[in-house]
Structure 1
Amino acid sequence: MSRQYSVPERLGAFGLTVAAAAAVWPAVTAGSGVGLPCPLRWATGVPCPACGLTTASVDLVHGHVLAALGANPAVFGLALLTAVAVPLLALRHLGAVRPPEPWSPQARRRVAVTMLAAATASWLFQLHRADLF
């Protein structure tokens, strides 16, 4: 039987991966000079909702909370989700917590609307930061 992971658990695992990458990213860029440009901003000059997340992740992992907030406040949502989901994943792996149950259609819609609102707020923040709004 294959193991089922909930969306929050998957996002939490993604957040853990982001934190690990953010811890080593400055060394990679310093040694290679390679960065991660935003494809939308590169092509159009308009930032995307995720613009600044790499910078914010690196800043947050290195304890620069205000710099992370200025780069992209959405990183705090991912950090919070990671802080909750990683222990949950560990407890589920140990059998202390039951596997996830599927969400109802109403719950899925609520989460979809919430995520859309968060992405819209992030995009408005990025547009304001870039003096485009």
Structure 2
Amino acid sequence: MRRQYSIPERLGGFGVAVASAAAVWPAVTAGTGLGLPCPLRWATGIPCPGCGLTAAAVDLMHGRILASLGDNPAALGLAILTAVTVPLVVLRHLGLVALPAPWSARTRRRVEVAALVAATASWCFQLHRFGFV
């Protein structure tokens, strides 16, 4: 039977994908001249909560932590979560750490609220960064 991954483990996997993309993205943009525009900002002029994540991830890959925080602080949180969950997933696959227990409905609800608060804070940060508030 195939094991289900927890939400933090899935976010850690996403973090690995982001780090991989951030490692090659500068070469892609330098070679092609293409950028990655924010669809909401492109269509409306208003930044989204995720604006700056690509630049922040590239900055983190180059060790520019303060620049990354200026682009989008959520990238650092994702990097920390990835650094914790990837080794944990490996240890679980080796059978050295127990599988995660399912979250209760109450815990899931708390995490949903925390994610909503984090997204709202990120959006406020982006609105301030781009001079909307």
Runs of 4+ residues deviating >2 angstroms: none
Distance 2:56 2:118 in 1: 16
TM-score normalised over the length of structure 1 = 0.98
C-alpha RMSD over aligned residues: 0.7
Stretch deviating more after TM superposition (48-57 or 92-101): 92-101
1:106 aligns with 2:106: yes
The superposition leaves residues 15-67 of structure 1 with CA deviations (integer Å, 9 ceiling, x where unpaired) of 01111110111001100111110000000000000000000000011111111
Distance 1:21 1:62 in 2: 13
Equivalent position SS for 1:54: helix
Equivalent position SS for 1:114: helix
- The equivalent residue for 2:2 is 2
Question: For the Cα contact (< 8 Å) 1:40–1:47, is it kept in 2?
Answer: yes
Distance 1:93 1:33 in 2: 41
Question: For the Cα contact (< 8 Å) 1:12–1:83, is it kept in 2?
Answer: yes
- The equivalent residue for 1:24 is 24
TM-score normalised over the length of structure 2 = 0.98
Q: Give 5+ residue unaligned stretches, structure 2.
A: none
Distance 1:76 1:29 in 2: 22
- Count of residues paired in the alignment: 133
